[in-house]
Chains A and B, each alone.
Chain A
């Protein structure tokens, strides 16, 4: 397979040459005797320019692994030693990907930080050679150029990128809990300036080609081509190569200077950065900001600052050394293991393991133009799905349509869309009050009010008009799907699609299948979700499914903690400092007090004592006073339009005071409060796996982190158990059980893991 690919690429290469010079074939054949044995990297010579093509077999992306590394060294040595070659172009043959980064498996296979440091040092050495190459090397970038890919590109003398939407440059290492370990921390600040480099490395954000050009990250842009003599993608890469070759020649002939003219602002910043005092201030500012945002939970950002600082203040040798050492240290941290696990999980949850559905969904219909319905419409229309948005009243429909328009228009303001694209996307939306056109719908998603009889009513109405193949999906956060499906003539076509609010921001989609749901229906729902850009977990039906079920006991605990006298602000700070992105009290306000009560009541009835804790009366009294959370302007906090700082709603105090519970001092330390919340969450999650609601721990982790904001630094409840130790968690649970009873009884699976330390959710 590998060999045939290599031969294939060889034949393609020679075919184009053959036309121009017949003698070339033999030459290139002898030259490329080594080519046949190389799998990832090949090169050919055009005039005096070596064109080095990266194309890892059997993969959509190129990654930098050991094999690629050694082949690259081989190729570069040949390029450097050849008298015929004066310059080189580095390009990927894959459309949509230059180099997506380092091979993560290579890093996770390491058991000591020394091993990782060594990998980093090898890469550093290689890239240093590239940087110091006397033969200019031009990186021709089409598609993602991330992590190690970017580090390689910025080691080259010149960079040319296609102005394609898929072309993204970035240093996302920080999102994996590590740092750019192949010279990136040293070269990037020199190239784009310290502030921009910090921004890139600390946020991990991807930078589009035109922005990269402005920043000085790339030197030239190439516009993607339309159809011509070949398919657009193919010809674009070819054109990029042609352009890169002319620049490589120009650089070798010294007709083009690799130095870039800096603008006034850039000159001023670089001057300012030459003043040690200014630099110190910047380090301080950035560090402060990072500490505030990470709450000390993530070690990578601080180390990045440290390494950059070392490079600038103590010279590159010290910088490179520090980079490789810190890289090694970070790769061994729990945080990076957690984050890498999440990254893997996310990749897994972006695949449709149910296969392609029999019929592609082209026409979607959404019932209910509320926050959820309109949100679902928004993420559908901009992916080209024809979408009907139906509501009962013109006012409600209008509000929904405006939400979709505003969502798209915000993207125009951020220049992610053109106004023309916005208009075309918006034209995919049809707003209506009746069921016209439903006879052509391939899928209906209902997002009406959470009321079983209402859901039954719309289900019956819809089934009267939709075609046989049409899937009926219910967007509900707690109503069991089989109860909804009970009213259906065709329960095999009924499925749950639980979106999270706000739909255009939250990545997760929880798909719920009943025993009757057909595999094709599931495949269809997953396909639509993936099209909408969602990360998807598929769970079995049951009260609260997976996400709501995990959240409910934690929420119950939140209420109890409040009743025990811990203020909402204090509780929020305890939860955020544990790593939750939103404080627990704020979360209740965001979800809606009425929704929380509804869920708590429902699940409390089903699961009984395990979901007990705080008193429902707190929520009931809040509702009776109209404190429904953010949507009503008052909850635990007071919300005012345009006012950012939140003030406590003092009226809550009297409610909490009247329902006060005695606190138990030995389980009420700050840490205990945090663990009371988290262990209840984790215990319920593990129970979901034990009961088969969840198919895999990965889905459990992804659901918890992307849907509920479980601390990403812990990697999700299952990763947390693995990294923190099941025994410790069981010990905690037992301690709280002693104080509060059955709510904290560890589930059997957790106990099993505790009793045999070799048992891990992730092997």
Chain B
């Protein structure tokens, strides 16, 4: 083709006005093209890898996220999970028997339904031939569910996987004390009346004191809010900055909700109650109001308050993940590719919530992208102080050099691309379900805004963290 063009050009009179004009046009055209490319010059055209299956998200849904103790308070976790699964079935019209596997993430387990994925799938009418398992990795449990799905598809074991997460903080397993449990178990084994009586005689009133699920980190015995407060102090983040960030989250969430951008939310008819249609934790307040709150963890001078922390939330989410060729064969128009991801972990005492700081540069490097390539950032907001600390840490050469073994900082994400539809602080944070919300928010934002790459990052108890690159499916 080019040879043909040059050939023609060569044999045209060089002084010809027409020829000049002719050659000008494509030139100017290409310069326009180049200018357009310069606006969004990506390090890579796509993250597709040769000889690797492309894995896509067709769509994802979630139940409205509600404050614990509100409309979902009488449900069990698998009820919520079932609602998310039904919603996904309805949204995607995926035939139930095509689904190869179901994976759910959850954190505080209901003992009766320890494999909540299976119970929910059966109740949602999935084929009883579809196996399901439950994963747990604190606040990145549903991220783990999704990446497990990616692994199953990439290795060719499955083609269609549903991944999701659920958390019901309205009800938590409160147990008898160990002593009481031991006595009850021994009693059940006792054969004679004498044995039973001698066991019962050992009963003491303190056996009845209940055992609550630990809200603290097991290894350090420190509650997460406490650690967040210390983290904020270590990064010298003021109360005002934290309140401002929380207000931003609530305001953006309110705006997104108002504009109907939170399209992953599916209505849920709660048995015996009205249909729930939207998140109920979004409450933009004023800085003055927020300033009045007392610190929730480090009293009386700490900076983390109820207003600048994510609240206890009930909710479930689910996404449909397929191999690209399967999705296309089934006639789907996927929303996004799931690309490179990393898990990181660090000191659970002093760096409990710094997962995103460690994971972000790592996943970017793995994908061969830079901070500038990312069009949409979706970070899990556990606490305002935690988000701001992560932003500061990512922007610190000192921190990068002394704690991350890197030569330079990765830089902090520009706020205009960061959690602009709200985040966990405002939308809520059902531990096991947040990961899918982050991925769907990223996918939907990329589709809406026309961006190509999104970055999801989250911290989790145990000092762990996760990040994943989401690439928009071309229109």
Residues of A bordering B, CB below 8 Å? 220, 223, 225-232, 235, 239, 243, 246-247, 418, 420
Contacts and interface: CB of A to CB of B under 8 A. Distances in A.
15 contacts: A225-B230, A226-B234, A228-B233, A228-B234, A228-B235, A228-B236, A228-B392, A229-B234, A229-B236, A229-B392, A235-B233, A239-B234, A243-B301, A246-B301, A420-B218
A227 B351 contact: yes
Nearest to A238: B236
B56 interface: no
A226 B231 contact: yes
A226 B221 contact: no
Contact of A225 (B218, B234, B393, B396): B234
A220 B295 CA distance: 15
B236 A247 contact: no
The residue in A226, A243, A246 that gathers the most chain B C-beta atoms within 10 A of its C-beta is A226
Nearest to A228: B234
A420 B219 contact: yes
Contacts of B218: 420
B301 A227 contact: no
Contacts of B236: 228-229, 235
Given A220-B301, A235-B234, A229 B350 contact: no
B354 to A, nearest CB: 9
Given A226-B351, A228-B399, A229-B235, 14 more contacts: A223-B230, A225-B233, A225-B234, A226-B231, A226-B349, A228-B235, A229-B234, A229-B236, A229-B396, A231-B402, A232-B234, A420-B219, A420-B220, A420-B221
B398 A229 contact: yes
Nearest to B218: A420
B233 A239 contact: yes
The residue in B219, B226, B393, B403 that gathers the most chain A C-beta atoms within 10 A of its C-beta is B219
Contacts of B301: 220, 243, 246-247
A227 B230 contact: no
Interface in B385-437: 389, 392-393, 396, 398-399, 402-403
Contacts of A243: 301
A225 B398 contact: no
Given A239-B233, A247-B301, A228 B389 contact: yes
Given A228-B231, A232-B234, A223 B298 contact: yes
Nearest 10 pairs between A and B by C-beta? Answer: A226-B350, A228-B234, A225-B234, A228-B235, A420-B219, A239-B233, A223-B230, A227-B403, A225-B230, A243-B301
A226 B347 contact: yes
Nearest to A244: B301
B350 A232 contact: yes
A227 B235 CA distance: 8
A226 B389 CA distance: 12
A420 B229 CA distance: 22
Interface of B: 218-221, 226, 229-231, 233-236, 298, 301, 347, 349-351, 389, 392-393, 396, 398-399, 402-403
Contacts, number: 56
Contacts of A228: 231, 233-236, 389, 392-393, 399
A226 B349 CA distance: 8
B392 to A, nearest CB: 7
A243 B295 CA distance: 14
Contacts of A232: 234, 350
Contacts of B298: 223
Contacts of B235: 228-229
Given A235-B234, A247-B301, A418-B221, A227 B226 contact: no
Contacts of B219: 420
Contact of B399 (A227, A239, A418, A420): A227
A227 B402 contact: yes
A228 B389 CA distance: 8
B59 to A, nearest CB: 40
A230 B401 CA distance: 12
Nearest to B234: A228
A228 B235 CA distance: 5
Contacts of B349: 226
A247 B389 CA distance: 25
A132 to B, nearest CB: 27
A104 B180 CA distance: 56
A223 B234 CA distance: 11
A246 B298 CA distance: 14
Nearest to A243: B301
Nearest to B300: A220
Contacts of B402: 227, 231
A227 B234 contact: yes
A397 B179 CA distance: 32
B357 to A, nearest CB: 11
Given A229-B392, A246-B301, A418-B221, A223 B231 contact: no
A420 B396 CA distance: 32
A246 B301 CA distance: 8
Contacts of B392: 228-229
Given A235-B234, A239-B233, A227 B220 contact: no
Contacts of A239: 233-234
A20 to B, nearest CB: 13
B142 to A, nearest CB: 27
A246 B399 CA distance: 28
A303 to B, nearest CB: 41
Contacts of A226: 230-231, 234, 347, 349-351
A225 B350 contact: yes
Contacts of B226: 223
B435 to A, nearest CB: 25
A361 B306 CA distance: 49
Nearest to B236: A229
Contacts of B389: 228
B188 to A, nearest CB: 29
A118 B273 CA distance: 81
A449 to B, nearest CB: 40
A231 B396 CA distance: 13
A590 to B, nearest CB: 38
A554 to B, nearest CB: 49
Contacts of B347: 226
A246 B392 CA distance: 24
B47 to A, nearest CB: 32
B350 to A, nearest CB: 2
A223 B393 CA distance: 20
A418 B398 CA distance: 32
A515 B392 CA distance: 59
The residue in B218, B220, B230, B402 that gathers the most chain A C-beta atoms within 10 A of its C-beta is B230
A228 B351 CA distance: 9
A676 B236 CA distance: 67
